[in-house]
Amino acid sequence: MFHVKHFDVVVIGGGHAGCEAALASARMGSSTLLVTMNPDKIAEMSCNPSIGGVGKGQLVKEIDALGGEMGKNADFTGIQFKRLNTRKGSAVQSSRCQADKKQYALRMQNIVASTENLHVCHGEVKALWVEGAEIRGVKVLAKAGNTLEVQTGSVVITAGTFMKAVMHTGFERSEGGRFGESPSLGLSDTLRDLGFTLLRLKTGTPARLIAESIDFSQMEEQKGDELPSKFSFWESSIILPQVSCFLTFTNEKTHQAIRDNLHRSPLYSGEIKGVGPRYCPSIEDKVVKFPDKGRHQLFFEPESLDSNWIYPNGISTSLPSDVQESFIRSIPGCQEVKIARYGYAVEYDCIDPRQLKPSLESKAIKGLFLGGQVNGTSGYEEAAAQGLLAGINAALLSQKRTPFILSRTESYIGVMIDDLTTLGVSEPYRMFTSRAEYRLSLREDNADLRLSRYGFVLGLLSEEQKLGFEERSKAVVEMKQFLKRTFVKPTHKVQELLTSKNLSPLIQGQSLDSLIKRPELSLAEVLEVSDILAPHSLSRETSETLEVEVKYEGYVAMQMQEIERMKKLQTLSIPKELKYGVVAGLSIEIKEKLERIKPSTLAEAAQISGVTPAALSALLFHLRQRPLSKEVSC
């Protein structure tokens, strides 16, 4: 099939993680092979056709800041954009877009097909070729029927929900990781044979509804933002027509139809063994676990501009088809609904991610990387972020360069990977802003200022992008200095603005910086009434970054001090051979956790659940005394 039987990097799976992994590797100059069971399903949006959300939007911005593709692809194919949590602080505001499902996949497929150094193979990886705890290649059963042996030193597994996947609708079972697609049957056994611990998880999807059969007048229209914000910091545009989504609710009749048929649910009959996502539960889970809640919020979202399918967000289910019809038709506006496809649950194998390094390389097998839902996560954004990091590190390994690791002090991606590799998962992991201790510093608006310098060094961002980045960085720095040293007098226009906001008038001149720190005043308003010419013409995005930096300057400074403290902890390594049983001052429980997880630094130990500041102090004291300790060889 290929004249070249050697590739620097092989990526297994063409989902959101696989696309980012393959693109990153190829763009960094490594010859890359993407193996997928169906090239027409590359970047398929299996569930909700949306990108972003609370915590997830931050991931997309970071992917983009590093040179990934998801943000640009969302911009070009989005059909509704909304900024979430705008009434709350900047630390928890996140972007989300409803994407055109068809256009999203098609554009990503075109990007993959046109990328230099990247080849696509239509086939299934049946086995990994490992010698002496190192990857040597993969064995691929091509669609044409022939078997290929591809030599490589770097493999990225992004198998999604396909490993030994089984779909459930009621008690009807069928093999597959997605409707109409076969499971991956060889990888699970291969990984188990290599010593990996595997877990069984579950996800699900709702029925798809025909738009013309829904009475949207019984629902509340939800329009997008009048001035939509892009995900990408670079060259992208919002070009597709924008549409509305619709809000509605379940009711007691809906819940009764579900309760009456729980005995027919594979989830509650014991048929499904995998653990489902806590933060995106099925509708039967909601009804059972929240019996006092009279209704549950649903969003009816269009899947594509040229499709009449509606995605009813909030009623994921594995109940039988007749029960689905019954409870869906009890929802306002759905009395006469026609169902295009019934919902189903998917059980699949994944690994315990504690078996991975922070680079997402296997601790046991050199050159084997894993990213996405195969690591126990949920969601396109979590998958894409892991795929990007795994692809980067696979390429770096092939080029004999140092691994690239992001810390939790500088990125949401670092938070997620640290959580996965130190704490593991007991259910599908979902990103939230609450998971990031330093979320005020890790905002959407400054993702490029935090991370793009890495993208330039890695070769994922161009010289042209670098010039734009430097111009924006310079504008932010110089404008902050300008606002501190420039004073505004208590003119009539200034006093009028303050009065309109119910603020005390100025008695004497005040710096622009101190005025903007008032929550009621915006940067644009203050500049407008000050009649002072600013040294830079600011874009909407740069104005937002500047205003947040000014308003939260004190809090950001405190977080930066804490981040510097954490960086120092990260430099304090913990020897692999350390015997925690001899560390004075640690409880038995903490000793057991540290012995099991074996953190490589004090910072990693600090993130383990239950490890207290007192325990860290005891561990730090022991490490400083380590040269005198007989149980540790220095």
What DSSP letter does each residue of 348-385 carry, written as one string?
A: EEEE-GGGB-TTSBBSSSBTEEE-SGGGTB-SHHHHHH
Closest of 271, 279, 600, 206 to residue 425, by C-alpha = 279
Closest of 555, 538, 549 to residue 513, by C-alpha = 549
Residue 413 lies in a domain: no
300 and 320 together in one domain: yes
pLDDT for the residue numbered 184: 85
Cα angle 138, 459, 52; round to 5: 80
536 and 606 together in one domain: no
d(CA 240, CA 301): 16
Which one of 559, 587, 614 terminates a domain? 559
DSSP H or E stretch at residue 171? none
**In contact, 367 and 135? CB cutoff 8 Å:** yes
CA 522 to chain centroid = 31
The dihedral region occupied by 316, where left means phi > 0, alpha psi between -120 and 50, and beta the remainder, is beta
Helices 523-530 & 540-551, crossing angle to 10 degrees?
100
Place of tokens 């991931």: 59
Paired strand residues for 157 = 12, 370
Residue 377 lies in a domain: no
d(CA 114, CA 134): 31
Is 205 buried (19+), middle (13-18) or exposed (0-12) by CB count in 10 A?
buried
551 and 585 together in one domain: no
pLDDT for the residue numbered 633: 29
Residue 469 lies in a domain: no
HSE-CB at 188 with a 13 A cutoff on CA atoms is 15
Residue 363 lies in a domain: no
What is the identity of the amino acid at 506? L
Q: Domain with 257 in it: what CATH number? A: 2.40.30.260
Copy the structure tokens of residue 41: 């399903």
Residue 47 lies in a domain: no
Q: How far is CA 484 from CA 353, 474, 477, 479, 548, in A?
A: 47, 16, 11, 9, 15
616 and 514 together in one domain: no
Which one of 287, 318, 344 terminates a domain? 344
Q: Domain with 519 in it: what CATH number? A: 1.10.10.1800
214 and 324 together in one domain: yes
pLDDT for the residue numbered 630: 38
pLDDT for the residue numbered 626: 62
**In contact, 101 and 45? CB cutoff 8 Å:** yes
243 and 328 together in one domain: yes
332 and 230 together in one domain: yes
d(CA 9, CA 21): 10
Copy the structure tokens of residue 65: 């800041």
Closest of 346, 326, 307, 304 to residue 255, by C-alpha = 326
Residue 543 lies in a domain: yes
Copy the structure tokens of residue 554: 């004190």
Q: Domain with 577 in it: what CATH number? A: 1.10.150.570
Tell me which residues of the chain have a pLDDT lower than 50.
1, 3-4, 628-634
Place of tokens 């989830």: 267
Copy the structure tokens of residue 289: 């676990």
Number of domains the chain is built from? 3
SS3 444: coil
Which one of 321, 344, 367 terminates a domain? 344
Terminal Cα-to-Cα distance of the chain (whole angstroms): 52
Copy the structure tokens of residue 214: 């829904």
What is the identity of the amino acid at 313? N
Residue 173 lies in a domain: no
**In contact, 203 and 345? CB cutoff 8 Å:** yes
Question: 126 — phi, psi (to 5°)?
Answer: -95, -25
**In contact, 137 and 130? CB cutoff 8 Å:** no
281 and 221 together in one domain: yes
Task: Count CB-CB contacts under 10 A for residue 279.
Answer: 12
Gyration radius of the chain over CA positions: 26
pLDDT for the residue numbered 51: 98
Q: How far is CA 70 from CA 17, 234, 236, in A?
A: 10, 12, 11
Paired strand residues for 222 = 245
Q: How far is CA 63 from CA 160, 357, 473, in A?
A: 19, 20, 19
SS3 151: strand
Place of tokens 């938070």: 415
d(CA 215, CA 221): 12
What is the identity of the amino acid at 209? L
**In contact, 510 and 491? CB cutoff 8 Å:** no
213 and 290 together in one domain: yes
Task: Count CB-CB contacts under 10 A for residue 470.
Answer: 12
Is 486 buried (19+), middle (13-18) or exposed (0-12) by CB count in 10 A?
middle
Copy the structure tokens of residue 258: 């579900």
Copy the structure tokens of residue 51: 């990108």
**In contact, 209 and 334? CB cutoff 8 Å:** yes
Q: How far is CA 552 from CA 36, 202, 558, in A?
A: 46, 41, 10
**In contact, 299 and 245? CB cutoff 8 Å:** yes
What is the strand order of the sheet 172-175 is part of? Answer: 172-175, 166-169, 344-351, 198-205
Residues spanned by the domain of 529: 477-559
pLDDT for the residue numbered 565: 75
Place of tokens 């600011």: 538
**In contact, 242 and 224? CB cutoff 8 Å:** yes
217 and 317 together in one domain: yes
Closest of 268, 264, 309 to residue 286, by C-alpha = 268
Residue 31 lies in a domain: no
CA 199 to chain centroid = 21
d(CA 229, CA 81): 7
Place of tokens 């992994």: 21
235 and 301 together in one domain: yes
526 and 596 together in one domain: no
